[in-house]
Amino acid sequence: MHFAQAIFSPGPSLQANQYFALIVPFCGVLLGSALVGCWAVLKTHKYLLWLAAGYILPALPIAVQSMQTNQQLAQTSVVLGCFYLLGLWAIARGMAQRSGGDASPKIALLISLLALAGLYYFSQVVDDIHMRMLILNIAMALLLLLGLSAVYRHRQAEDIFERILRGSYLCFVAYSLIRPLVIFIAVEQNPLITLSQSPLWLLMLAANLLMSLWFVGVLLAVTCREVLLAMKKERDLDPLTQLLNRRAFFEQAPARIQRSKQGLWALLICDVDHFKQINDTLGHAAGDEVLRSAAKVLARNTRHTDLVVRLGGEEFLVLLNCDSLHSACVVADRMREQFAEVHLASYQKLTASFGVVVIDAADQLQSAINQADNLLYVAKRTGRNKVMSAQSPEWPKKLHATAC
């Protein structure tokens, strides 16, 4: 019989459970479409397209085979086998790509060609449905295995969501490896009359459906979380230096100060000296590079409990946990010295000025920033490249009383 005829002419008596089996491919297409929709919105997560293909491609052979007699299954096995193999490799590829790896396309091609040759032999030369099922299921399990190594080799940030996703994929692979064994035992004990009407077929479809739903659920949850984290990062970080921005600082600083049980907090305002001149002589791109280097100098002199912020332009703010104004000034001075080490082509030496204030309560934040700003202004006015605090000799005596 012709292939197209074999696909479109259903068996003589379609059972109710065969129609019921169509729910599975329908769900596969639906879940695959959800992943495509997700990709269309994000545009960044290309691996979602591979995973979508992994859901949509096998849906076609499942739908067709659910309505076929064993004789028709033999005629369509090679073509429909291609859809299964491509679909399973797409899942492996998607998962591998998500982890920054690959799913060995050459090995996948070899496995697929061998499987298709086997399907051809056991359908066109010797009609053995048992062998065809075994070959196809073994090949599909091997294709999924190709993704597993990449998923475990290229480890992403270890968190509970990642572990659940990885664990789910591992279960999916394990199930695929066990399936040929189940088929081997089940068919051996109960020779198939019509595969698509057998409980084995329905059982496999039900297991597929459950796995698919679970896997897509986990995948979408992980993707949503990634998107939310990326959005939060974009909202909180300065894109040039990757430091916190002003808004994120005022959101995080009060809680950070209140949480700390002991010690003072110092506010260091830092401003790169003659930055306009750097921009004018070396160009805006070099200016940007200087800002990135300045951010690194500040960040490497702080601990994870401190906050480093780009207030705007060439002005930075550091919230530093310390035990005295003196120790905060020592840190600021170390930062100041390290500015001189930033490499600047043809520009003499990079310098920065600092204003330092200490506080012990969150409600002093705004006034302390204003005060640190005043100190910075004095540092600029009295020659730049210096750390100014209320204890500095240059600090105007009449303001001394209000300083920390």
Ligand X SMILES: Nc1nc2c(ncn2[C@@H]2O[C@H](COP(=O)(O)OP(=O)(O)OP(=O)(O)O)[C@@H](O)[C@H]2O)c(=O)[nH]1
Shortest CB 398 distance to ligand X, Å: 23
Among 159, 288, 323, 363, binds ligand X (CB under 6 A): 288
DSSP 8-class letter at 346:
T
383 belongs to the binding site for ligand X (CB under 6 A): no
Shortest CB 380 distance to ligand X, Å: 5
Among 36, 154, 380, 403, binds ligand X (CB under 6 A): 380
How long a stretch of residues is the chain?
404
Shortest CB 288 distance to ligand X, Å: 5
Residues in Cβ contact with 137 at an 8 Å cutoff, skipping those fewer than 6 apart: 176, 179, 180, 183
Going by DSSP bridges, is the β-strand pair 352-359/264-272 parallel, antiparallel, or unpaired? antiparallel
Which residue stretch of 95-103, 218-226, 271-279, 385-393 sits at the interface with ligand X (rule: CB under 6 A)? Answer: 271-279
302 belongs to the binding site for ligand X (CB under 6 A): no
Shortest CB 40 distance to ligand X, Å: 33
Judged by CB, which is closer to ligand X: 129, or 352?
Answer: 352
Shortest CB 213 distance to ligand X, Å: 48
The one catalytic residue among 314, 315, 337, 341: 314
In degrees and rounded to multiples of 5, residue 194 shows phi and psi of: -130, 120
291 belongs to the binding site for ligand X (CB under 6 A): yes
Among 59, 180, 271, 387, binds ligand X (CB under 6 A): 271
Which residue stretch of 82-90, 120-128, 282-290, 357-365 sits at the interface with ligand X (rule: CB under 6 A)? Answer: 282-290
How many helices (H) does the chain have, and how many strands (E)? 15, 6
Nearest to 240 by CA among 282, 278, 283, 296: 296
**3-state secondary structure labels for all residues of 270-303:** EEECCHHHHHHHHCHHHHHHHHHHHHHHHHHCCC
Q: Is 314 considered catalytic here?
A: yes
Torsion angle of C-alpha atoms 82, 87, 88, 92, degrees rounded to 10: 130
Nearest to 375 by CA among 274, 241, 270, 288: 270
Q: Could you say which residues in the range 304-333 bind ligand X, by CB under 6 A?
A: 313-314
Judged by CB, which is closer to ligand X: 64, or 379?
Answer: 379
* Residue 158, amino acid: E
Judged by CB, which is closer to ligand X: 235, or 276?
Answer: 276
DSSP 8-class letter at 361:
S
Judged by CB, which is closer to ligand X: 102, or 373?
Answer: 373
Angstrom distance (rounded) from CA 270 to CA 357: 12
Q: Just list the catalytic residues.
A: 314
Positions touching ligand X (CB under 6 A) are 240, 271-277, 279, 284, 287-288, 291, 313-314, 380, 384
